[in-house]
Amino acid sequence: MAEEVDRKGAAVWLARSTAFDEVLRVLVDEPTEGFSAWARTTAGIVAMLLALQFVTGALLSFYYLPSTEGAHTTVAYIEKVASAGYWFRSLHHYGSQLLTLFLVLHLAQKFWRRAYARKPVAWIATVLLLAFVMASGATGYSLPWDASAFFSTRIGEGMASGLPLLGETARRWLLGGTEISPLTLVRLFALHVLVVPFIILLVVIARLFIFREISGEEMRRAWVRNQFVRNATSASVVFFALALFATRIHAPLGPPATELLPGYLPRPGAQFLWLFQLLKYLPGRLALAAAAILLLIIFMTLIALPFLSLASLREITGRPRRLIGRAVFATMLALFFTQTNRLFSMNRSSR
């Protein structure tokens, strides 16, 4: 009995002295039961994957050297020599792909529930989080400085030059000059480990403190506890599945950028497969400009969604809303299983 009183006292002190309850309330979303409650655990999975990216990225940075001469060598050292280095690198690599997947699913279920109309600032923060997570993935792909990294840097250069009005300025700033050079890799490293993570951290902190009002104090506390357990369970299942996958399938590392082999075909991560497909159907420069403009249109539309008129939103989110949600879910699953199948094929061929 005394223990129970102590626990309640500690919980009350924590609630009064900190914003812990409010943070939990944001993470677990709104009261619901059954399948809907489990479907809303995407926030917990995103939080776990974000923390995993920060931790594994920090560990990898102790070994990595951001130079065109040493980058591939240090990544190969992590992969082959450092204790459990291949596992941490695989967690970081595949975790970034899963993070994009679950952020899209998180946005899809919010769109389904029209959360953009009720909490527009929270919706915009989540859209920005997705944009910066994709930017982090794009800058990270160049860091191993293998053949695939070199081509991804070329693609990033082309997309930057395709931006309306600012194209050439953005391209020169990204490259640190007119051509890819050692300074390019240093800039990409700084963006990946300093600038983009700092912005992501700011967005996450802002998102956590956008509170929701939930009626009924006792009901709210009981529901928060139950939903927190669901979030923790879902996040744990995803983590253990990812950990097992990373143990069996190593993150890819191609030949050094200075030793390009004839016929080598680089492939992007799962979150950028759509760009790889676009390059097949359009000429190089046109495809990259189209991709940059398409991304701008998609993210600007998502950000503007809370401010559209109610009449137009009803037309968009009426009956087609379910079809859109199902289409997004099916597309992301298809991309995930396609990428998984490709990785298993690559692993078998390497053996």
What pLDDT does 38 receive? 73
Local confidence band at 35 (pLDDT 50, 70, 90 cut-offs) = low
Residues 6+ apart with CB under 8 A from 85: 60, 63, 77, 78, 79
Asked whether the CA dihedral 346, 240, 276, 160 is positive or negative, the reply is negative
Within a domain: 222: no
Q: Tell whether the model's pLDDT for residue 319 goes beyond 70.
A: no
Residues 6+ apart with CB under 8 A from 146: 72, 75, 253, 254, 255, 256, 257
pTM over 0.85: no
Highest-pLDDT range among 113-127, 183-197, 300-314: 183-197
What pLDDT does 137 receive? 92
Within a domain: 8: no
Please state which of the ranges 57-61, 85-89, 245-249, 295-299 shows the lowest mean pLDDT: 295-299
- Counting residues of the chain whose pLDDT is more than 90, the rounded percentage is 33
What pLDDT does 211 receive? 44
Q: Tell whether the model's pLDDT for residue 235 goes beyond 90.
A: yes
* Domain, as residue range, for 81: 39-212+232-341
User: What's the average model confidence in pLDDT over 56-82?
Assistant: 94
Within a domain: 250: yes
* SS3 track for 234-264: HHHHHHHHHHHHHHHCCCCCCCEHHHCCCCC
Q: CATH code at 316? A: 1.20.810.10
What pLDDT does 20 receive? 52
What pLDDT does 314 receive? 55
What pLDDT does 349 receive? 47
Residue bearing the bigger pLDDT, 83 or 225: 83
Torsions phi, psi for 64 (to 5 deg): -80, 140
Q: What angle do CA 23, 27, 33 make, to 5 degrees?
A: 125
Within a domain: 310: yes
CA trace torsion 163, 164, 170, 174 (10° rounding): 0
What pLDDT does 337 receive? 54
Tracing tokens 């492939």 back to the chain, one arrives at 267
Tracing tokens 């596992």 back to the chain, one arrives at 87
Domain count, the chain: 1
**Region of 77 on the Ramachandran plot (φ > 0 left; ψ -120 to 50 alpha; else beta):** alpha
Residues 6+ apart with CB under 8 A from 56: 88, 89, 91, 92, 95
Residue bearing the bigger pLDDT, 260 or 165: 165
Within a domain: 16: no
Q: Tell whether the model's pLDDT for residue 177 goes beyond 80.
A: yes
Within a domain: 9: no
Q: Which pair of structure tokens corresponds to residue 289?
A: 């400009």
HSE-up (13 A, CA, CB side) for residue 152: 23
Q: Tell whether the model's pLDDT for residue 267 goes beyond 90.
A: no
Residue-wise pLDDT for 75-90, tens only, equals 999 999 999 999 999 9
Within a domain: 254: yes
Q: What CA–CA distance (Å, rounded) separates 198 from 193? A: 8
- Report residue 168 CA to chain centroid gap: 27
Burial class (CB in 10 A: 0-12, 13-18, 19+), 97: buried
Within a domain: 65: yes
Q: Quick count: other Cβ atoms within 10 Å of Cβ 106?
A: 20
Q: Which pair of structure tokens corresponds to residue 279?
A: 């390059």
